[in-house]
Amino acid sequence: MQTRTETETQKIAFQTKTIYDSSLAKGTKKVTTRGVPGVKTLTYQITLTDGVQTAKKLIKSEITKAPVTQVVRVGTKETRQCDPNYSGACVPIASDVDCAGGSGNGPAYVVGPVRVVGSDIYDLDRDGDGIGCD
């Protein structure tokens, strides 16, 4: 009967930490720290009887390289998108936009006046003078 020691290494998976960030636009993800797996070294005492392994005992487990946690920032900032056909106020991009306080039924509204600088796709300039919701 004889004994010997053997070592082997195993990867240690890295963790992922999510941080919600109000300075990033909603839906944006940004990895600020890349995750790196760690390494664990295992030392075993092996017992051989007539050249055949009869026992294997873990005698030491050591983290030889710690994993690095991956950090992911997720944006929460609401960004309002304005229709480029108008200036002077933000005309939201929607299926229909009406002047606030008017007789329209939305679903979105704008407080005017707004200048038409492109196509008046929401028909906000009813009198054709280039100014809507006035």
Give the per-residue pLDDT at 81.
Answer: 82
What pLDDT digit, counting tens, does each position of 2-40 carry? 999 999 999 999 999 999 999 888 889 999 999 999 999
Give the per-residue pLDDT at 33.
Answer: 97
* Rounded CA separation 14/39 (Å): 10
Residues 65 and 8 in one domain: yes
Q: What is the pTM for the complete model shown?
A: 0.55
What pLDDT digit, counting tens, does each position of 51-73 carry? 899 999 999 999 999 999 999 99
Amino acid residing at 15: Q
Residues 91 and 125 in one domain: yes
Residues 64 and 89 in one domain: no
Give the per-residue pLDDT at 112.
Answer: 79
Residues 36 and 86 in one domain: no
